[in-house]
Amino acid sequence: MRFEAAEPLNALARRALGFVKDDTAVGLGAGRAATAFVRALAARVRAGLRVRGVPVSEATAGLAAELGIPLVGLEAEIDVTVDGADEVDPDLDLIKGYGGALVRERIVAAASRRQIILVERDKLVPQLGSRGRLPVEVIPFALPLCLHRLAALGLRPTLRMVGERPFVTDNGNVLVDCAVEPIGDPPGLERTLRAIPGVVDTGLFLGTADTVLVADGTSVNEWSRQR
């Protein structure tokens, strides 16, 4: 069963390797699909591919280093970033952040020439918010204010916990998971949330993905944004 579950992710990883050029810097995402890609990329590195990785999280950095991928920072010119997503709509807009790395994911994507998103078919939604959850990263000092403002917007915010402690991001912030219905105006909601003092970022990634690779079993379909 574990093998069957891994196969769509491995198919996505193999397809994504086709976007990686020799002697370039590659953004390394977080999550299950991105981890499969990191492992596949490491195998190519061992076979002689010359790349440097720019990880979006400390966990990704640890895995890449363990597997022998040389790491660099944002001083590198990133040719392509390969990452996952929690929702993808028909316009290739995304919700990210279920894994907690959304701020660094956005920064690395912004520093890249191209962002490739890897998802299984169940992540496709007709409208962002369809899975009912939108992560928001918040400075701890501002948490009471942010919870109040988010609740006033009808978003039913919940502080993300790990056991009895708040989940803390690699940036030292906390995550608030907002309960959402399908979002009619994602850009408008993004502006509203970012205007709340103490909100660092949201899981709405609008216009960042250039290509989305979608696994349906072991077959992979490719969608590209029309620029």
Pairing state of beta strands 115-120 and 211-216?
A: parallel
Tell me, yes or no, whether 91 and 62 share the same domain.
Answer: yes
DSSP secondary structure, 62-118, as one string = HHHHHHT--B--TTS-EEEEEEE-SEE-TT--EE--TTS-HHHHHHHHHTBS-EEEE
Tell me, yes or no, whether 49 and 73 share the same domain.
Answer: yes
Tell me, yes or no, whether 103 and 44 share the same domain.
Answer: yes
Domain range for 185: 133-200
Contact 28, 55 (CB under 8 A): yes
Pairing state of beta strands 174-179 and 157-159?
A: antiparallel
Other beta carbons within 10 angstroms of residue 166's beta carbon come to: 16
| Closest C-alpha among 19, 114, 212, 87 to residue 222 | 212
Tell me, yes or no, whether 88 and 137 share the same domain.
Answer: no
Tell me, yes or no, whether 117 and 137 share the same domain.
Answer: no
Active site residues: 105
What is this structure's pTM?
A: 0.95
Considering the domain boundaries, does residue 111 fall inside one? yes
Tell me, yes or no, whether 120 and 138 share the same domain.
Answer: no
Contact 114, 79 (CB under 8 A): yes
Residue pLDDT tens, the chain, 227 long: 344 558 999 999 999 999 999 999 999 999 999 999 999 999 999 999 999 999 999 999 999 999 999 999 999 999 999 999 999 999 999 999 999 999 999 999 999 999 999 999 999 999 999 999 999 999 999 999 999 999 999 999 999 999 999 999 999 999 999 999 999 999 999 999 999 999 999 999 999 999 999 999 889 999 998 76
Tell me, yes or no, whether 14 and 41 share the same domain.
Answer: yes
Tell me, yes or no, whether 35 and 104 share the same domain.
Answer: yes
Considering the domain boundaries, does residue 86 fall inside one? yes
Report how many domains make up the chain.
2
Q: What is the CATH number of the domain that holds 196?
A: 3.30.70.260
